Every structure is written in C-alpha cells, then in structure tokens.
A and B are shown apart, each in its own frame.
Chain A
C-alpha cells in the first residue's frame, strides 16, 4: 500500500533522511520508534508530501507520488495524518472540523458531510461533543476528533505522528483505543510512537530509526526483548524503564 524507496531529505546541509526504504502492505499497522531527531516525522511528512523528498521514490497504492507533475492535494487526500499537537481548527466545532475537508475539498453536500461526520465522531466516542469547540475539549478528545477529521476524507492509509506525546497520561488510553480499533478494522497505518503496549498489541513489525536510517526492524517481541543493534538496545532500555 505504501512503498518508500531509498528516500533522502536534506534541510539545508543537514542530511535528515539517508536512504530510507519501507514497504507497508494493505491492512498492516507499522510502528516506527527512534530517538528525537532521527527523522521519523520527516519520513511521515515525505509520504504525504508535506515535505518533498530530495531523492528516492514514494508509492501510494501503486502510484508514484513524488513526481513534479502530480497533484499534491490529491495525494494528501489518499493518506490521512494525525499530529502530535492535534491542530484542530480552533474556530470550528468538532463536527465542523470533521465536515470541512469533505465539503471544501471533495465537494460533498453539507447534509451528507454532516451525516458522515456524526458517524465518525460516534466511532471515536465523541457523539455528545459534536458542537464543542476545540478549546472546550480535553487533549484526548481533541486528538480523537483529529482522527475522525482525517478519516472523513476516506484515506487509504493513516499516518500518526506521535499522537499521544502531547497528552496528559490519563487521556492516552482513549486515543490508543481508538487507534487500536482502527487497526482492527483493517486500516493501513504507520504510527510513530513510544507506546510499547500499543506497539506490541497492534503492530506485527516495528522499525527502529536513528540518524536518518533504519537500523533495525522486526517483530515487537524481537525488538523489545532481543534487539540486535547496540543502539536499539540502549534506546529500548530507556523507553521501557
């Protein structure tokens, strides 16, 4: 579903991604871990072209997307993204946040968009909060609205960029539950997270990134209990503590 071939990215002289290759099949949930600055977020952003890769190729559902002649807006509709800091539109209610994309980008009618948005909010357990503004919601609720907003575009895959890192501990569970349910429903997902419980439950495969390269990948149990690389071991022991 998502294929990344030898992708490089520079920010000025900083070589952030040094040849990343990745293959995520349909319905798979892949977890990426790694220290900050290792290029995880940049990799996710290269997949939906929020950041343009400098070299290498990205395929989504078989389509080569980082070409100059491609419609970037179309590409971004194919993959939903959830951010660390939620980024809900502050001037719109939860319901309007979910409706905005379908109405303004896809040209769906207001009634249809509203029906769908209500269903999606119900799916993440927020039917009762449809008319609340982001500032009136807890972090966990905001992040679940953000998930619904991404799903409203009917994406083929979802990217999660540390979705629980900005949350108070008591709200992490509800967001992870929503993501777990999504994975169980067969959504293709790439998740950057340090939530080991979630990774073990949901992912078949974990990728460890450091310094812009993939150092190691494997089954969660393998990575957490018997990491091959020294750096993986050091990192895992820090986050498992």
Chain B
C-alpha cells in the first residue's frame, strides 16, 4: 500500500471510472433523444409486452448454456487429445493397439475441428436441422427444431472450445510436465495437478468470449423456427408494428445476460489470479 505504483494504479482506476460514466451517460442521452424525443417510445406497449420477450430470453439463455456446457466436455477431451504429443509406441500388440486408437482419435479430432471452423454456423444449423427433419419426420416440429438447434450449437462450440483448451494446455511449458514427471508423477497426475491448474487459468478469458459469442450467435436459430429472443423481437416488430420498442427490449435483454456474465467471470479470474500467471481480461469479439 502507498507505493508509487499503487498510487498510479489508483489514479488510472479513478480516471477510467469517470470516463466510463461520462461516456455511458452520453450514449444513453443520444439514444433517448432519438427514440423517445423524436420518435416517441410506446411505454404502454413495453409495459404489457415484456413478459413475452422474457420467455424468448429464457430460450436463448438455456439453449446457449446447455450447448456451452456439453460443448465444454467435448472441447476439453478433443483439445487434450490434440495437444498431446504423438506418444511413444510401446512394444507388443497392446502397445500397437493403444497407439492406433490414440492416433485415430487425434485425426478424427483434427477433421472435426476443421469442419466446424471451416463452415458458417448458419449452414451448420440448417444442415443439422434438415438431416433431423428428414430422418425423424414423425416428431413434433417444434421439438425437432429445438433438438437440431442444441445439436448444432453444441457441435459448433465444442470445436471452438477444443481449440481454446488445446492452446491453454500447450501454453503450459513442457518443462512443467518434465519437472512433475521427474518427481514421480504419472502422465495423468501431472495433467491433473500441474498442467490443468495453470491451463484453466489461461483459458478463462477465451472461454468467456466463447460463451458470449455463442449467446449472440444463437440468434441464428430463428432460421429453423426456434422462438428465441431475436425471433420474438422480429415478430413483435413486424406484427405489432413496433420496431424501435421491440429491438430496444431485445438489446437490453441481451446486455442483461452478457454484462453480468462478464462481471462474474472477472471476479472469478481475480480470485484465481497467481503472480506470474496473470492474464488481463481479453476484449470480446465474435460473429
């Protein structure tokens, strides 16, 4: 406390806060001027229609979250498989079999990631949906759409998250594993107690980006008839003739999910921060 460095940081923080407040007030002022002052927002409509939007927001939230969590499992496994160096082939039939399985899994992972990253999410959604509609035509179309949406989003985020995990695991220096092996850790224990604690700290910011990106990308699900937040906004805008009101609410609800998520993760990141492994929050970009 009280060092020059602390003082400098304190000042920067104060300045940042003031700048942020001024900027926010400015933007909100301009928006209000345009929407309320010139156009005149219909507050009675907003007051009566918001529960409809909330239902859409819920669909968006849970489709995103379920896909994200399942995708994290897929991403972790594939990321680990792809990060592992080609292991030594042990002698004997068993050694050859283990080597073959590992090799095949890794190549399959490569193909999966290439397919997911190399095609638009929009195409993936339509593709999965069309396959399911043809194969399971007897099912309720609404359920089918939801399943297709979940499958497509899960596959998509699984591919992207595997790259995040791969980068995280590979960023942990090989010397760390060597040191762990030298005091008698098995491969798995070295991963569990040395690599993962470091890799997970490294991947928190990109994983947060991925969640927020996925949440926004989930608006594409409207193309297969899932009534999520953006679709509600679109319907209300056209059928009720309220474009400004509806998209103002939609915007607000997206922010109501993404901003708290960012804040919570920021807090977790601060709690887990270790000197020398420090990562500053990365800017969010996607889609």
Residues of A within 8 A of B (CB): 48, 50, 52, 68, 73-74, 76-77, 80-81, 83, 85, 87-91, 100-101, 104-106, 133-136, 146, 149-150, 152-153
CB-CB < 8 A to B193: which residues of A? 100, 104
Q: How far is the CA of A76 from the CA of B194 in the complex (A)?
A: 17
Partner of A87, one of B179, B186, B189, B276: B179
Binding site for A on B (CB under 8 A): 88, 90-91, 173, 175-176, 178-186, 189, 193-194, 197-198, 201, 274-277
How far, in whole Å, are A65 and B262 apart by their CA atoms in the complex?
A: 52
With A85-B175, A90-B176, A100-B193 given, is the CB distance from A80 to B277 under 8 Å?
A: no
Within the assembled complex, what's the spacing in Å between the Cα atoms of A68 and B89? 12
Q: Which residue of B lies closest to A79 (CB)?
A: B182
- Report yes or no: A81 in contact with B277, Cβ–Cβ below 8 A: no
- Chain A residues with CB under 8 Å of B184's CB are 73-74, 76-77, 101, 105-106, 153
Given A52, A77, A153, which contacts B88 in the complex, CB threshold below 8 Å? A52
* Highest count of chain A CB atoms <10 Å: which of B88, B178, B201: B178
A50 interface neighbour in B181, B194, B274, Cβ under 8 Å: B181
Given the contacts A104-B189, A105-B189, A135-B275, A88 and B181 also touching, CB distance less than 8 Å: no
Inter-chain CA distance A226–B254, complex, in Å, is 80
**Is there contact, CB below 8 Å, between A83 and B175?**
yes
Can you list 21 A-B contacts (CB < 8 A)?
A50-B181, A52-B88, A73-B184, A74-B184, A76-B182, A76-B184, A80-B183, A81-B179, A83-B182, A87-B175, A90-B176, A90-B198, A90-B276, A91-B274, A91-B277, A101-B184, A105-B183, A105-B185, A136-B275, A149-B179, A150-B183
Q: Which residues of B contact A83 (CB under 8 A)?
A: 175, 178-179, 182
Knowing A90-B198, A91-B274, A133-B276 are in contact, say whether A153-B176 is a contact too (CB < 8 A): no
